[in-house]
C-alpha cells in the first residue's frame, strides 16, 4: 500500500466530491433494467482519473480480484481526510471501484473504517448481480481501503 506524496492525481478525481453517493442511489432507483445499471456503473468508472503507470506496482496491487486492480492513497493529516484512487484494467471493475471511491473519497479515515459498505451494496442490490469472483474482488478492494483508513486513523 503506497501513500502518494503528491495530491495532484487525487484532485482531478470527481468521485466522492462532485459525484455523490446520493446521486448514485437516485440513479440506481431511476434505472429499472440491470443492463442500464451496468452501463451507468461503467460510465462512473470513466469519470475516474487513470492511475499513473508508476503506481501500477505489485505493492499497490489488490490481490483477490479477478481483474488487475491497483490502489493508492493520500492522507491529508492536517484536515483528517483520506483520498483514494483505484484503477482496473476491466471496465466493469473500474466502475465498481468508482462506486467505492464515491463512498470513501475525501472522508475521514474514521468514517471510512466504520462505513458499512455491505449495506450500500445491499441498498443498490449490487452483489447478487455480480459473479461470485467479482463480488469477492469487490470485498477485497473495500477491505484494503478500510484497512488503510484504520492505519491512517492511528497515525
Q: Compute φ and ψ for 93, nearest 5 degrees.
A: -70, -40
Secondary structure letter of residue 141 according to DSSP: H
Note whether 111 and 13 are within 8 A (CB): no
Q: Count CB neighbours of 62 within 10 A.
A: 22
Rounded to 10 degrees, the C-alpha dihedral 94/97/99/104 comes to -150
Residues involved in catalysis: 65
Amino acid at each position: 500500500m503506497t501513500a502518494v506524496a503528491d495530491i495532484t492525481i487525487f484532485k482531478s478525481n470527481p468521485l466522492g466530491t462532485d459525484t455523490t453517493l446520493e446521486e448514485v442511489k437516485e440513479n440506481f432507483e431511476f434505472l429499472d433494467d440491470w443492463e442500464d445499471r451496468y452501463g451507468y456503473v461503467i460510465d462512473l468508472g470513466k469519470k475516474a482519473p487513470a492511475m499513473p503507470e508508476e503506481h501500477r506496482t505489485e505493492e499497490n496491487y489488490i490481490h483477490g480480484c479477478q481483474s488487475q486492480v491497483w490502489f493508492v492513497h493520500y492522507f491529508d493529516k492536517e484536515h483528517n481526510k483520506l483520498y483514494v484512487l483505484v484503477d482496473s484494467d476491466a471496465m466493469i471493475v473500474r466502475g465498481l471501484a468508482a462506486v467505492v471511491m464515491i463512498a470513501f473519497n475525501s472522508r475521514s479515515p474514521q468514517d471510512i473504517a466504520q462505513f458499512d459498505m455491505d449495506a450500500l451494496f445491499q441498498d443498490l442490490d449490487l452483489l447478487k448481480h455480480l459473479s461470485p469472483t467479482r463480488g469477492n474482488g469487490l470485498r477485497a478492494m473495500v477491505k484494503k481501503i478500510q484497512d488503510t483508513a484504520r492505519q491512517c486513523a492511528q497515525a
